[in-house]
Amino acid sequence: MVERTVLTGARVVLPTGVAHDGRVTVEGRRIVDDTAREEPSLDLSGHWIVPGFVDVHVHGGGGASFSAGSAEEALTAIGTHRAHGTTTMVASTVTGDLDDLARQAAVLAELTEQGDLAGIHFEGPFISPHRCGAHQPGLLRDPHPADVRKLIDAAHGAARMMTLAPELPGGLDSVRMLADSGVIAAVGHTDSTYEATLEAIDAGATVATHLFNAMPGLLHRAPGPIAALLEDERVTVELINDGTHLHPAVLELAFARAGADRVAFITDAMGAAGMTDGMFPLGPMRVEVKDGVARIADGPTAGSIAGSTLTLDTAFKRAVTVDGLPVEDAVRALSVNPARLLGVADRVGSLEPGKDADLVVLNGSYDLVGVMRKGEWLIKPEVK
């Protein structure tokens, strides 16, 4: 007999808006359409039910890294973020030797095949040495299409996105190849001009990797990549809403220009997410986390911000309580838009009949109190 779960009484964020005193019914792994009828239910009055979060850019968590080349570490990172509401995620690597990245991709591809991941995002090594951030400068290289193809092939169909600097030699050809291969081409860690960025978008780039971070600032005579990426309707812009990477006024600017349907909140989290302060690896780099902020500990890029320790439940709460976003816009940025970007919106990203029963329960203060993935409670709400 298929297990049935009925949730009632909460404010449910649906594609049509917020249903007050709403109802969500789950049979097995999926949300089903039914008429309200007398049957046992879990009363979630005073709570919110929102779709499970979708993170298209995350490097690790729980002390573990996707770049370790270990399925055990990857599952630890996955479990950490699931406990914070991320029910769908793409594993991001960091710059490394091509052979090492290929080996990492083979491990992550197996987890994608098993359904634990939604794919792989290669962030580097095809990025600008002038905007490398937490990536090791000595391992950077130009995005020659043959090298880009090597990583795509190593992922065995699991490659979902690749971040590159399109102004580098081979950049535009690689963007075209990625687009033709069904892999999202993302502009990031770039020193590109406004004009060169427009060329990349016309060539097939559709994502801005952590917009504003690791790229030239917006200047009145040199608008650079930021203006090009914000203004083009074909581009989804990633934002790290942790209070460290972006000033609230900048986040407001991004929403005002791009609109709520083109923003995807990401964590860009490294292994320290869900952990206390300390030292952590990030690919071949060492990272020190102090007061929750991760920075490269030594070497030529010492002091650079090294990803984040963010989880998406925190990003959601901040969006609503600090940034003043409507709950519906926060849901678009954390669930709807990234699911559409990945091409999985037919299964996840919104609470609709027929879709996977991936959902997050928040209390009245927007703190996470429950997580369901594919109809199974990972954290069951404790209600009176």
Active site amino acids:
268
Measured at the CA of 85, the angle between CA 82 and CA 91, to 5 degrees, comes to 50
Known binding residue 134? Answer is yes
Q: Is 308 helix (H, G, I), strand (E, B) or coil?
A: strand
Known binding residue 156? Answer is no
Rounded CA separation 211/266 (Å): 11
Known binding residue 123? Answer is yes
- Distances from the Cα of 170 to the Cα of 137, 148, 153, angstroms: 19, 10, 18
The values of phi and psi at residue 289, to 5°, are -105, 120
Q: CB burial class (10 A; 0-12, 13-18, 19+) of residue 275?
A: middle
Known binding residue 196? Answer is no
Known binding residue 252? Answer is no
Known binding residue 205? Answer is no
Known binding residue 118? Answer is no
Known binding residue 307? Answer is yes
Known binding residue 257? Answer is no
List, in sequence order, every beta strand (DSSP E) within 193-235: 205-208
Rounded CA separation 347/305 (Å): 34
The answer to whether the beta carbons of residues 216 and 191 sit under 8 Å apart is yes
Q: Which residues are annotated as a binding site?
A: 123, 134, 189, 210, 213-214, 221, 245, 305-307
Annotated binding-site residues for substrate read 134, 213-214, 221, 245, 305-307
